[in-house]
Amino acid sequence: MQEIIVPYLQCPECNGAIIISGIIEKKLINTEEFITKGLLHCNQCHTSFPVIDGIPRLLRKKELTPAELQCTEEFSAISTAGISSISTAGIIVKKEKTFNEKEKLALMEKKVRQLFRPEKAVSHSMMKRIEHDLEYRVYHSDKKEKYVETAKLYYKGDMQSILEVGGGQGGTLSCFRKYFHPRITLSIDIDPVMSEVCQIRDPFINVIRADGTNIPVKDNCIDFIITTATLEHIKEWKICLREIARISRNAFISYSPNKWFGYDWGHVDGPVIPFLPKNYSLPLLCLWHKLRGTGRDYKALKRSLSGTFYISRYNAVKELRKYGTVINVFENFLEYSIRSDYHYMGGSFKKFLLKHTLIRKIMIALLLAFKVEPMVYLFLKKKPVIQK
């Protein structure tokens, strides 16, 4: 964590200003210093939040893990003893070990494997699916030039700060950081393992463990926000959109599937599921996977279904229009996507569309006319903030 991000932060408990109350350990990357162990403090409600392994844990106290709470107490005791940000005496400064690309990928793969456990798969097809997902998360998730190219069409001006909600393994944000070179780069994610993977991938990203429905960042201070493949996993997605609008000036929002597309790829992989109430769709989903012989059982499907929320493009746009102008960028994104080298899914179909321009244009026109495109890509231009 870089000290320069602190003025951007606010308390998740009361929205008060955050300060550094103690620094225990720092690391050097090139010539830049990063806090690896320390304590953040709210000036208003006096709640403390630990920085563990370079990642601030800016969650409400009830949302912190027992280990994070224990670190808070330990770091508070050390800070009280006099090792603070005001006096650098006693602060341990370590030089960060430099990993080559091969070592970095191996370390990321180890962590992702510990999380997804492909060896626990109950069938060969499920193991193959998990391995495919794992390969993407480690080796291909930073191939996101298609997102950058789309965003360039609508974002004008110098980008000083960028934040990703649901940053996950960090590939998308890393791609944006390397292109726009912002002064501040932030990733918000609730998952501790994915947060670590993001930090390994790109140590110049400031990763924060936080909730997307309670983003610990001050109002209107972020130039550009990205969120991809996250909104559909947040039950209170309207609150998440409100938070994105609250802290940003521009935002690129994408999620899948569109509720009215009618097939869920990548989550539960079943037809008509987005249309139906979950209590009706689960038996149908189990039957579908049994007939296909995928090996996905009732418990696994129930877990995936309970964590996926189907949002129509109409409802997402309706919510975002409360905060500014919304532009549907599906057509722009698809044009860049079919020209990109890597396709996580549907690669053959995208190559077909690249060869057949007329078919592509007719398909896009029909999908947009009926509001049933499979994935939703929106750009939000915020209303100007009137200073009182």
Q: What is the DSSP letter of 361?
A: H
- Where a domain ends, among 95, 127, 156? 95
Backbone φ, ψ for residue 332 (5° rounding): -60, -45
Specify whether 13 is located in the same domain as 41. Answer: yes
Specify whether 354 is located in the same domain as 240. Answer: yes
Of 264, 268, 346, the residue nearest 311 (C-alpha): 264
As a whole number, the mean pLDDT across the chain is 90
Residue 89 region by backbone torsions, left for phi larger than 0, else alpha for psi between -120 and 50, else beta? beta
Specify whether 51 is located in the same domain as 146. Answer: no
Q: Is residue 250 part of a domain?
A: yes
Please name the residue ranges forming H helices in 229-310.
237-247, 278-292, 298-306
Q: Is residue 333 part of a domain?
A: yes
Count of CB atoms within 10 A of residue 251's CB? 27
Dist CA 112 CA 106 (whole Å): 10
> Distances in Å between the alpha carbon of 372 and those of 166, 271, 318, 326?
24, 14, 16, 17
Specify whether 232 is located in the same domain as 153. Answer: yes
Beta bridge partners of 25: 37, 92
Specify whether 273 is located in the same domain as 150. Answer: no
Q: Is residue 133 part of a domain?
A: no
Specify whether 178 is located in the same domain as 32. Answer: no
**Amino acid present at 123:** S
Residue with tokens 């080796």: 139
Q: What's the total number of domains in the chain?
A: 3
Q: Is residue 113 part of a domain?
A: no
pLDDT at 301: 92
Sheet holding 18-29, edge to edge: 55-56, 48-52, 32-42, 18-29, 92-95
Q: How far apart are the first and last CA of the chain?
A: 33
Specify whether 66 is located in the same domain as 82. Answer: yes
Residue 95 makes CB contacts below 8 A (sequence gap 6+) with 27, 28
Residue with tokens 């990357």: 29
Q: Is residue 121 part of a domain?
A: no
- Where a domain ends, among 95, 115, 132? 95
Mark 161-188 as b/e (b = at least 16 C-beta within 10 Å).
bbbbbbbbbbbbbbbbbebbebebbbbb
Q: Which domain holds residue 247?
A: 141-260+309-382
6, 19 contact by CB (below 8 A): yes
- Where a domain ends, among 95, 125, 157? 95
Specify whether 256 is located in the same domain as 298. Answer: no
Instruction: Round the CA-based radius of gyration of the chain to a whole number and report it.
Output: 22
Q: pLDDT tens digits for 78-116?
A: 866 544 443 444 567 766 666 788 999 999 999 999 888
Specify whether 189 is located in the same domain as 74. Answer: no
CATH of the domain at 203: 3.40.50.150
205, 186 contact by CB (below 8 A): yes
Q: Is residue 136 part of a domain?
A: no
Specify whether 272 is located in the same domain as 146. Answer: no
Q: pLDDT tens digits for 17-32?
A: 999 998 999 988 888 8
Q: Is residue 245 part of a domain?
A: yes
Q: List the chain pLDDT tens, one digit each, 388 residues.
A: 999 999 999 999 999 999 999 899 998 888 888 999 999 999 999 999 999 999 999 999 999 999 999 999 998 888 665 444 434 445 677 666 667 889 999 999 999 998 888 877 777 778 888 888 899 899 988 889 999 999 999 998 899 999 999 999 999 999 999 999 999 999 999 999 999 999 999 999 999 999 999 999 999 999 999 999 999 999 999 999 999 999 999 999 999 999 999 899 889 999 999 999 888 899 999 999 999 888 888 988 999 999 999 999 999 999 999 999 999 999 999 999 988 877 776 778 888 888 899 999 999 999 999 999 999 999 999 987 665 5
Specify whether 283 is located in the same domain as 252. Answer: no
Q: pLDDT tens digits for 175-226?
A: 999 999 999 999 999 999 999 999 999 999 999 999 999 999 999 999 999 9
Structure tokens at 48: 């403390």
Specify whether 347 is located in the same domain as 365. Answer: yes
Dist CA 163 CA 151 (whole Å): 14
How far is C-alpha 258 from the chain's CA centre? Answer: 18
Of 252, 214, 232, 286, the residue nearest 9 (C-alpha): 214
Beta bridge partners of 252: 226, 379
The pTM (predicted TM-score) of the whole model is: 0.92
